[in-house]
Amino acid sequence: MAAVSYATWMLEQEARALMTRLKRIKPFALHETMVPAAAILPAAQISIEQHLTKGRRELRRLIERYIRWLHSPTAQSASPAQAQRLFSLLRLRFNTVLTQFDLFNDVLTQRSEHETGVWLSGLDVVSADALTLPGHYYEVPPVICYLDRGAGAAIRRARTRLPGGGENPVAVIRVPRERMIGSGIASSLIHEVGHQAAALLNLANSLRPVLQGMQRGSGSHSAVWSLWERWISEIVADLWSVSRIGIASTLGLMGVVSLPRAFVFHLNRDDPHPPPWIRVKLSCAIGEALYPHPQWERLARLWEAFYPLSGLNAAQRQDYDALQATLPGFVALLINHRPKCLRGRSLAEALQVWNRQPHHLQALFRLWQQDPSKMYRAPPTLVFAVIGQARADGRLSPEQESTILGKLLTHWALSSTLQTAADCLIRSGPRQLPVTAQFQQNRFINYSLRRMT
């Protein structure tokens, strides 16, 4: 067999093998086993499947075109090296398809875990609630959550570039397994939601010119304002978390960054994250500005007692003194910022923090103690705020908190699943629905509430 024809035959076999393996990649709906309450919401699943199907379809066309090219006169005159180069590009594209499939597969496989899968579905509901901003400032993308090792959370935002190309159809949030289940998980989760919200509102870019102006007019503190600008993306996400769940956000942050002293005070000017010490103080300052109450000063003093400034060298002490000196002005600038996208409203006004005031959360907790069923009908982020406030006040033990949140996550997962089913039944027409879907849903939820409370 001639060298060229042998190369053509070999590459065709490899291309056909590639096609065979590609056909074995099935939609998630055909091979993921999970109870209905653990499934991701239809909008997220449809977006993911459409994205992956499009990638497989395009790759299949490329492989078929390559096989046809191998038998064309052009290929017969091409060298084996040229034919191999084209095939290697196909293989790279194939691996890109697999990488994107595995990205979502890792997320969805956990939905088959007993209990954990349902809790993750509940976290999806919490995320959607945390991302929803009254006023229709942006279209809320689907959000899905999964667990991983480590103390910190992370997000792969919707509408950002995926490995190998293409736009991510959903926001994927990784939350630390060690936080399941306590109110601290909401701190990590909603911080990451804050990154997505900030991107949708373009908040960091709208704040940077303001902070750059502060650098030009702050004299000896100009270098400190450059640090606030450097950290603004993480700070806006922390603001979002505090605005949604109050003191639970700061307590959860303290749980994440309570590290050996050297790490807590380490200031890397190239790191987009503020040093843990000033980040906790900033969270307390944001809380005090949004929800004036003695608890924030008490928490800040506790943090200082855990990590006193005494013992720092002169340069470190100078940095932290300057950061604390500019902290009140920076927080005021932050919460009163009025980007064009909010149509004249400040961040504090748009986030509607009035119903997260400590006295309001405390009153709700007393009410829910008398009638727990009311808790299950409240927005998930409000529930986390109330429970976090109760923990901070010493009215709820960690054991009670974990039990309640486990039931709540199950309820939110079940409720969203039934609501989706009810919507489908309603769209299918009244003739197929002798009893209204809403009535069926309410009856089942009430039964579940009696079981859980």
Which pLDDT value is given to residue 378?
93
> What is the tens place of the pLDDT at every residue in 241-253?
999 999 999 999 9
Which pLDDT value is given to residue 445?
42
Check pLDDT > 60 for residue 4.
Answer: no
Check pLDDT > 80 for residue 424.
Answer: no
Number of H helices, E strands in the chain: 20, 3
The 10 Å CB-count burial string (b at 16+, else e) for 308-336 is eeeebeeebeebbebbeebbeebbebbbe
Q: Provide the token pair at 190.
A: 């909603």
The model's confidence at residue 443, banded by pLDDT at 50, 70 and 90, is very low
> What is the tens place of the pLDDT at every residue in 16-54?
888 888 887 777 766 666 677 777 777 787 888 888 888
> What is the tens place of the pLDDT at every residue in 54-80?
888 888 899 889 899 888 888 888 888
The model's confidence at residue 352, banded by pLDDT at 50, 70 and 90, is confident
267 contacts 316 by C-beta, under 8 angstroms: yes
Residues in Cβ contact with 434 at an 8 Å cutoff, skipping those fewer than 6 apart: none
Q: What is the pTM of this model?
A: 0.83
Report the C-alpha gap between 256 and 184 in whole angstroms. 9
Report the C-alpha gap between 241 and 279 in whole angstroms. 13
Who wins on pLDDT, 84 or 166? Answer: 84
- Coil, strand or helix: which one is 154? strand
Report the C-alpha gap between 441 and 411 in whole angstroms. 12
